[in-house]
Amino acid sequence: MKYYIIAGEASGDLHGSNLMKALLEEDPKADIRFWGGDLMKSVGGKLVKHYRELAFMGFIEVIFNLKTIFNNILFCKKDIAAFQPDAIIFIDYPGFNMRIAKWAKEIRIPTHYYISPQIWAWKESRIAAVKRDFDYLYVILPFEKDFYEEKHHFPVTFVGHPLIDAIHNRIPISKSQFIQENNLEDKPIIAILPGSRKQEITKMLSVMLSVVGDFEDYQFVIAGAPSQEHSFYLPFLKSKNVHFISNKTYELLSHATAAMVTSGTATLETALFKVPEVVCYKGSWASYQIAKRIITLKYISLVNLIMDKEVVKELIQGQCTSKNIQIELQKLLDPKYREVLNTNYILLEQKLGGLGASKKTAQLIVRSLIK
């Protein structure tokens, strides 16, 4: 069978790579063409366009890059038409993927959405397009099944969260080896996960690193995004107590004592590694003003959304200050506070459905094509 996969972000590349491995197990002769990143490329198939060419953050930034976005959509349609896949698999990235899906449905190519759009967060009106344009929807958050089926009468399959697979399948490394290989000090580690896009990294690192001097007994380690060059981070590495690693986020989290994390998938990854975290987020003034008027969720982190309560502290926009980060980091180092967090993290993992999301999804996709 021929599969065309579209993943437009770093998290999509991770989940796409595991899905590709599972597809090849179910269909060893699978011919896969995809938009994604280095992780998907390492599995095989043909990389058409790298996600770092696609990542635009915030409402204003998207407007400034509309020409590039529309050119990518046109190119994608032409590429799919030339490839003639048996199925298109969309991974998150709704602004782009939903436009391609509408066109694909019209020309009768089966459409599969893995990691559905977060229309429960905003743009719930998109449900009409989802019901119209997608033949199969695979959701990864437990509350999404109720949202689609009970509220909107659209059948979906809850497959569990693929992060559990990704974390379980990693190759462990000892702390001593990790420290040695990355030229770190023999001190407890506070991990910094500032995001993957240049705009957010620049804004977040400026405030996150402002507290370094308050924790001299710890070393701070920035997790570099695979989409950014090392040179981009150099201006932030002025303190001897600040280190940098790239493409080793899971190794970093497995040995971190605490973490500062920009909102997104990384908040959930950090929790699944049982690392106490504070969630920090600052967007551009204009993007934030727009967002707070159209997004009505109580929380921005996946951890809190899934648990439906404040498990991890969220410092958003005006609250994301040096003083507040310093206060919350100090709490994360308190044994009693850490114990409560760990209990909630265990409950969180149980809610996410266990191992096998990639395999379940691959099986469902392949079976749908051989009926």
Note the pLDDT tens digit of each residue in 154-183: 999 999 999 998 898 888 999 999 999 999
User: Where does the pLDDT of residue 283 fall: very low under 50, low under 70, confident under 90, or very high at 90 and above?
Assistant: low
Say how far apart CA 357 and CA 166 lie, in whole Å: 10
Nearest to 157 by CA among 175, 137, 172: 137
Length in residues, the chain: 371
Say how far apart CA 137 and CA 174 lie, in whole Å: 39
pLDDT score recorded for residue 65:
62
- φ/ψ of 190, rounded to 5, equals -110, 115
255: tokens are 């040995």
Burial label, 53 (beta-carbon count in 10 A; 0-12, 13-18, 19+): exposed
Q: What is the pLDDT of residues 327-358, one digit of tens each?
A: 999 999 999 999 999 999 999 999 998 889 99
Say yes or no to pLDDT of 269 above 80: yes
Say how far apart CA 365 and CA 371 lie, in whole Å: 11
Type of residue found at 370: I
Say yes or no to pLDDT of 294 above 50: no
Query: Taking a C-beta distance cutoff of 8 angstroms, is the pair 139, 154 a contact?
Result: no
Tell me which DSSP letter residue 169 carries: T
pTM value is: 0.82
Say how far apart CA 169 and CA 172 lie, in whole Å: 9
Query: Taking a C-beta distance cutoff of 8 angstroms, is the pair 237, 171 a contact?
Result: no
pLDDT score recorded for residue 290:
46
The CB density around residue 94, as the number of other CB atoms within 10 Å, is 20
Query: Taking a C-beta distance cutoff of 8 angstroms, is the pair 135, 112 a contact?
Result: yes
**DSSP-assigned letters across all residues of 68-109:** HHHHHHHHHHHHHHHH--SEEEEES-HHHHHHHHHHHHHTT-
226: tokens are 């695979």
Q: Considering just the CA atoms, what is the radius of gyration of the chain in Å?
A: 21
